[in-house]
Structure 1
């Protein structure tokens, strides 16, 4: 049985750990509010852009832009992997990396796959894989994300697609559903899926409401050619915002669980301490009583 000093030392150590996890939970909660506000403020712009894009899509043909035309044979695939730079957020990064690994093994086996990594955790994993890393962005997710990061990386991806260096591109990011739920999600961004489906989906969402008809000048095809690259930038930026918010939510939950676990351990150690102390007192009393009886004899 452990001595009183050893048990007391463990209690002090766990209490210090509880202070750290509690402080990290408060920091994650504060950062979550900021990330969630940024994500929610961007939603109206992204929604209106998608609405206008869906409206114009009904007037333009599928060949309005080379970004809409799928390749006859897919040989080269780019995966944009969005993860965090830091750990201590539960299984957040593991779920995203597992999603990427399963996608490569199930869909792209035998094809040339390359990575564009946002976040140190995903970059470190990708370095150990046989697939090359085309580009990496460290220190972006989890902080103040600038739209220029999404536009610059998106423009490089578009140039690669137009030059034939990439046949398809996919986003792997964490979709923020709620504080308790974040889902690893895969979304194809190149070639852009059929815009007819986008228009039909918007009509279903707006069913029963007034749908404005947008007048295009110079033409719907020309306007669509300018909007499609921006649509890719918006999707990348939205994925970064969603991943950043999900990271803080996952870390807040992980630190809350760690704090609760520390409290449970402290309770168990306190019980052991009391039992050990009581056993010591009982042993001392027995020695005193035994000594007294011996003196009487």
Structure 2
């Protein structure tokens, strides 16, 4: 009886330690999510500034009646950038992202699609589905690494575009659900061909001073805007990943709490049985 009680007490200690670890992981995920969300205002302000410059560049570009065109079409190769989780304990986060990737691949056929995977946990899950990435990158482990990751993604993306190995680029990623109906939503965002229709040419009463031809200026501004879109996508994905981890840790803590209650009840029962047995033995000794 004593041995069984000690075993249960050891399990209680282990479960309490596990609960402490889960609480710490939840706290870390919450901090990382806040750090990512705190960067979004600056990223969006930067994108708005570049967007305003694009609107002015479009006015210069269209003064002769011409407008920017696009070399991309849906008939060429599709390049998919999938943002998954780098670490575990995120529930079905990677599954939902890869479901969207697979649906996108099926629309064009695997032979016409290339996949760049971000996030080590997503790479293995993608291969289990028969999705073989042409390139893999680690997801940022800290909010300070997000801009560097966006830079590396931009380099890979622009390299493929310049080499003519992609005619359409789509980012598949998760972002926190603003309605709070779910931890996150999965979106598909086309970054190339670039949608100039989003920007109405500015009404320039006084044209800005420029030192570049309008087409070159517009091309460089477009590159900057795409970089801003990449920054926003990886930041939102990082925040969504940590939101999913928080939810998973909350569920895990509830399960651990229930298990701890069960073990505590068992421990009390065993202790009571042990006391009862000792009293019976003592009473027997007194009679003798």
User: In which range does the TM-score fall when normalised by the shorter chain?
Assistant: 0.7 to 0.9
Q: Does 1:256 align with 2:258?
A: no
Q: Does 1:108 align with 2:100?
A: no
1:48-104 residue CA offsets vs partner (Å, 9 max, x unmatched): 3234435655775698556x3432623x21110112211122332232222222332
Aligned to 1:208: none
Number of matched pairs: 280
Aligned to 1:27: 28
Aligned to 1:282: 276
1:63 to 1:82, Cα distance in 2 relative to 1, 3 A:
farther
Aligned to 1:242: 236
- Cα distance in 2, alignment partners of residues 121 and 215 from structure 1: 50
How far apart are residue 252 of structure 1 and its match? 2.6
Alignment of 1:127-142 (within 5 A): 127-128=127-128, 130-140=130-140, 142=142
8 A Cα contact 1:55 1:199, kept in partner: no
What's the C-alpha RMSD, in Å, of the aligned pairs? Answer: 3.4
Alignment of 1:11-22 (within 5 A): 11-22=12-23
Aligned to 1:97: 98
* Secondary structure of the structure 1 residue equivalent to 2:217: helix
Q: Does 1:167 align with 2:167?
A: yes
1:214-237 residue CA offsets vs partner (Å, 9 max, x unmatched): 835466544322212222211112
1:215 to 1:164, Cα distance in 2 relative to 1, 3 A:
same
* Secondary structure of the structure 2 residue equivalent to 1:87: coil
8 A Cα contact 1:84 1:142, kept in partner: no
1:196-224 residue CA offsets vs partner (Å, 9 max, x unmatched): 2x137xx9xxxxxxx87583546654432
- Cα distance in 1, alignment partners of residues 5 and 138 from structure 2: 48
Q: Does 1:8 align with 2:9?
A: yes
Aligned to 1:120: 120
- Cα distance in 1, alignment partners of residues 286 and 148 from structure 2: 88
1:273 to 1:72, Cα distance in 2 relative to 1, 3 A:
closer
Aligned to 1:191: 193
8 A Cα contact 2:59 2:203, kept in partner: no
5+ residue gaps, structure 1: 204-210
1:8 to 1:182, Cα distance in 2 relative to 1, 3 A:
same
Q: What TM-score results when the alignment is normalised by the length of structure 1?
A: 0.78
8 A Cα contact 1:113 1:131, kept in partner: no
- Cα distance in 2, alignment partners of residues 136 and 110 from structure 1: 17
Q: What TM-score results when the alignment is normalised by the length of structure 2?
A: 0.80
